[in-house]
Structure 1
Amino acid sequence: MRADRLRRIVIVGGGTAGWMAAAAISKLVGRMPELSIELIESEEIGTVGVGEATIPQIVLFNTMLGIDEATFVRETNATYKLGIEFVDWRRIGHRYVHPFGFYGIDMLGVEFHHFWLKARNLGDTTPLDTYSLAAVAGLRGRFAHPRPDQPNSPLAKLGYAFQFDAALYARYLRSLAEAAGVRRTDGRIVSVRRDGESGHVAAVQLQSGDEIAGDLFVDCTGFRGLLIEGAMGSGFTDWTDWLPCDRAVAVPCALGGDRVPLTRSTARSAGWQWRIPLQHRIGNGYVYASAHLSDDEATATLLAHLDGAPLAEPRQLRFRAGHRNRAWIGNVVALGLAGGFLEPLESTSIHLVQSGIARLMAFFPTRGFDQAEIDRFNRDTAQEYVDIRDFLVLHYKATERDDSAFWRYCRTLAPPDGLRDKLEMFRSNGRVVREHQELFTETSWLSVMHCQGIEPRGYHPVADLLSDEETLQRLRHITQVIDQTADTMPMQDDYLREIGCNPAPTRRAS
């Protein structure tokens, strides 16, 4: 057994990030001999708590923790999610769904969308959304779990995620972590002591006077970055020029409108508004650029577009888009908002915590803290932020809107190199290239590029191996199967009741 193994892991900060880290680390390495895991949080310090919508990777995280899904859904007031509905992004009055899963079925070894592009050239105007079960079922308010045992059904590859109360999720994970031996300490950190020789963090001192030492410190202190920035001076890569939104105002409201299994993002004059329907309430927020809108104007706009009565006072948040120059320095690793922030337009906030934990486990250190592994962790972390950034910028860049100074700025900005390359590839012959297993799939890139107005000049030549008539016939059959499958799926509220939930009543989707 290695003599230089870690003996004490200290997680600084609670909330979603801290308790995700505590639950996962205790599950994966908690049985290592003589290893203690301690989480420090202060009841005096609130959490941001805006990351209520997720992407399908959260299913893998919960499964890894051994979480029973029905119990989790009940405990967190969760609803299901089949994608994101974007309203008024391309132009006012336009809407589309960025779905989980796939469009249609691939044919002749070529992605489905090339046959759809060919059909468009033949005059077929069937919308892209029609070929996605997630989009069709989501808009109808229906949900069912994937059925990999039915390979010929559109349900076989259906992707899904959750929308939940982040505070309840943190509480649920805390119960799991503490049951696995994680010790929780309530206290406010007032100072950080570093080792004079290595520069590592040796201990943190609490307001009570207690000092907590550790070998590895996981910084989950939110935007403050108490350890990664305050103690270690990581520095910050600022992407405000590409992503100018730097404020948000958030407020929950009573249930109203529909409760479809979709997160909704509605473009506003200086940013966008999120709508996240849960079992007991709706989460709402307006992400905006302070250069184009005042805080009071943003709050008034948000309150004017709620589906129910507000349940709390609106809460203001300030941030910068970007990431720490180094997410791991010495014996300090930053997760969540301590490591960086990208607006939750594509629900990636919780995923970045999850991927950071997975990366930490892949490079789980000894007290030797190998610099080559730390450097690789930092490169991979930075690349993930870049990949997500490019996808977010696409939403702003690909728009016809010119009704405000904000949108005129966005549509004329020079895209990052990676995004520019993807746009050129798609505009030529509809090619969608996924780099180094980046987070967003070909389906995601296709959805946003096409639905926000990027039109290819051609399609893959192999699509012409099918005759025009057969191409149109196959596409009609796919839409019929998806339509019929969606109609067999239960309404989401009925599905929730089947697993023991008691969702508050709301209007069903039409």
Structure 2
Amino acid sequence: MDEKKEARPIRRVVIAGGGTAGWMAAAALSKTLGRVLQITLVESEEIGTVGVGEATIPTLVTFHRLLEINEQAFMAATQATIKLGIAFENWRDRDQHYIHSFGTTGKDHWTAGFQHFWLEGRRRGLARDYGDYCFELRAAQENRFAHLPNGGINYAFHLDAGRYARFLRQMSEQHGAVRIEGKIRQVCTREDDGFIEALELEDGRRIEGDLFIDCTGFRALLIGQALGVGFEDWSHWLFCDSAFAVQTASVKPPIPYTRSIAGEAGWQWRIPLQRRAGNGIVFSSRFIDNDSARATLMGSIEGEPLIEPRLLRFRPGQRHKVWEKNCVALGLASGFLEPLESTNIHLIQRGIIRLLQCFPAVLEQAEIDEYNRQAEAEITHIRDFIILHYHVTHRRDTAFWRAAAEMSIPDSLQHRIDLFRETAKVFRVPNELFAENSWIQVMLGQGLEPKSWHPVTGLMPDPELRGFLESIRGGVERGLRQLPVHQRYLETYCPAAD
């Protein structure tokens, strides 16, 4: 690159596309750097957004705190409910269910994690279900929630994605971000180095910038079409490539967890909001046709449909780079993992935080390379976690599940599976999203049984091990008695806005 071009300071940030990704970026940038940056977001009301990322994970709570977002106002505006985890139904096998909660299970010892003591207790007939030792999991089962002092309960949200984008837009504009209505006709690049210099709209306007953020969804107008960054396809591991989504009227009080219900060639989601429910089916077009998938979804919904089911096509995978030249891709433009563990909003958030932490005074290739390295590592670890749900299962009742069980998997995932099966040990890579307890809950829930565990557990006599386990379980049950019913808490804390 020409040195003069390379040293050009970043003053104008242009966000291409709105939706969840665009407005999360606008909100974060305007809140933190709005006094020194000109932030412009270009979107068209004629172009719809995917808008089905309505279940989140606890990192969004942290994101909101960093941006000083009032939680009650946010929850009321987005008709949000609380999420304590995900119930996986029929995944291990038909009629076998478990919950992947956001909590910590039991208490670790410095020599070994709690799962080792639980396994030894189960062998001796002293232990109850693994989930009985997790506060958040039991609260989900009992349909209870309340905020507790000192972060005493881990939680996330179910939210209306369209309302969330509008909420963030209002916040962004209050901090100086400017929205421009218009459809992008052309992405203009410089002849000498290929950097993006402007977005040309259909009415002829040119929106010039120094740094561009691609939030144009699956189209990836900037990172993919204009800059030619390729895509790594993961469909040989993740077979699902289609989804139908539909909203329905609420027919019962919302529960504080997402339901993920495995089917013949994929799975269905149910996400309870305060005024409605989100429903969908994620499926593989190789194993079931559109009409059958749609019929399966519509035959299982509860409540009157509020919209016609929408068909979404996607390809699981990631861009070879998510930051190329002066363009950063967020959300669907950067890659896609199906919403099985509600990670897509998290990946948007992490991309934004990473950008803020290394926000360039001028563009430096070393910093761009490090951003790409971290982004690749993060999504790869999440990819492995999602593959785990499909591969480790007792289901062999359909061609879809047989293929998932028999496929070759990434070496990185195979190592984790082998280690847990042989030793009950798990590990967490630095900056990895899912902690040890998440891996344990899913591995045990999917039917992966360790052959051995840490020998230190064998040194505890029965009365001591029983007392240790019961003290934890008793604490969980005492804590549950402090919590009101989820619906009752929502009615007083954040009643939905119209």
Q: TM-score, normalised by structure 2?
A: 0.97
Cα shift readout 1:183-233 (whole Å, capped 9, x = no counterpart): 100000001110111210011110111011100000000000000001000
- How far does residue 107 in structure 1 lie from its aligned partner after superposition? 3.4
Aligned residue runs from structure 1 range 37-436, under 5 A: 37-107=39-109, 109-124=111-126, 126-148=128-150, 157-367=152-362, 369-436=363-430
| 8 Å CA contact retained: 1:10, 1:218 | yes
| 8 Å CA contact retained: 2:77, 2:496 | no
Match of 1:151 in 2: none
- How far does residue 466 in structure 1 lie from its aligned partner after superposition? 2.4
Whole-angstrom distance in 2 between the partners of 1:91 and 1:133: 25
Match of 2:9 in 1: 5
Match of 1:448 in 2: 442
Which stretch shows the higher mean deviation, 492-501 or 48-57? 492-501
| 8 Å CA contact retained: 1:279, 1:503 | no
Pair 1:65–1:100, CA change in 2 (3 A): same
Counterpart selection for 2:26 from 22, 39, 46: 22
Cα shift readout 1:406-431 (whole Å, capped 9, x = no counterpart): 00001111121111010111111210
Whole-angstrom distance in 1 between the partners of 2:119 and 2:170: 50
Whole-angstrom distance in 2 between the partners of 1:193 and 1:466: 69
Whole-angstrom distance in 2 between the partners of 1:23 and 1:298: 37
Whole-angstrom distance in 2 between the partners of 1:124 and 1:100: 25
- How far does residue 145 in structure 1 lie from its aligned partner after superposition? 1.7
Whole-angstrom distance in 2 between the partners of 1:482 and 1:177: 41
Letter in 2 for 1:29: L
| 8 Å CA contact retained: 1:146, 1:159 | no
Whole-angstrom distance in 2 between the partners of 1:11 and 1:108: 47
- How far does residue 131 in structure 1 lie from its aligned partner after superposition? 1.0
Letter in 2 for 1:99: S
Q: Quote the sequence identity (%).
A: 49
| 8 Å CA contact retained: 2:80, 2:496 | no
SS at match of 2:28: helix
Whole-angstrom distance in 2 between the partners of 1:312 and 1:500: 26
SS at match of 1:175: helix
The CA RMSD measured in Å over matched residues stands at: 1.5
- How far does residue 384 in structure 1 lie from its aligned partner after superposition? 1.0
Pair 1:503–1:207, CA change in 2 (3 A): closer
- How far does residue 468 in structure 1 lie from its aligned partner after superposition? 2.4
SS at match of 1:488: coil
Letter in 1 for 2:289: S
Letter in 1 for 2:227: M
Cα shift readout 1:15-67 (whole Å, capped 9, x = no counterpart): 000000000011111122xx210000001100000100000000011111111
Letter in 2 for 1:469: P
Unaligned runs of 5+ in 1: 149-155, 505-510
SS at match of 2:92: coil
| 8 Å CA contact retained: 1:205, 1:211 | yes
SS at match of 2:306: coil
Letter in 1 for 2:20: T
SS at match of 2:286: coil
| 8 Å CA contact retained: 2:426, 2:436 | yes
Match of 2:466 in 1: 472
Whole-angstrom distance in 1 between the partners of 2:106 and 2:484: 21
SS at match of 2:475: helix
SS at match of 1:39: strand
| 8 Å CA contact retained: 2:118, 2:127 | no
Whole-angstrom distance in 1 between the partners of 2:333 and 2:147: 34
Letter in 1 for 2:312: L
- How far does residue 450 in structure 1 lie from its aligned partner after superposition? 0.7
Whole-angstrom distance in 2 between the partners of 1:128 and 1:284: 29
Which stretch shows the higher mean deviation, 354-363 or 239-248? 354-363
| 8 Å CA contact retained: 1:288, 1:298 | yes
| 8 Å CA contact retained: 1:493, 1:503 | no
Pair 1:503–1:18, CA change in 2 (3 A): closer
Whole-angstrom distance in 1 between the partners of 2:57 and 2:211: 29
Q: TM-score, normalised by structure 1?
A: 0.94
Whole-angstrom distance in 2 between the partners of 1:445 and 1:57: 17
SS at match of 1:453: coil
Letter in 2 for 1:427: R
Cα shift readout 1:431-472 (whole Å, capped 9, x = no counterpart): 011112310000100000011111111112222342222112
Letter in 2 for 1:374: I
Cα shift readout 1:330-367 (whole Å, capped 9, x = no counterpart): 00100000000000000001000000001111221234
Whole-angstrom distance in 1 between the partners of 2:366 and 2:247: 45
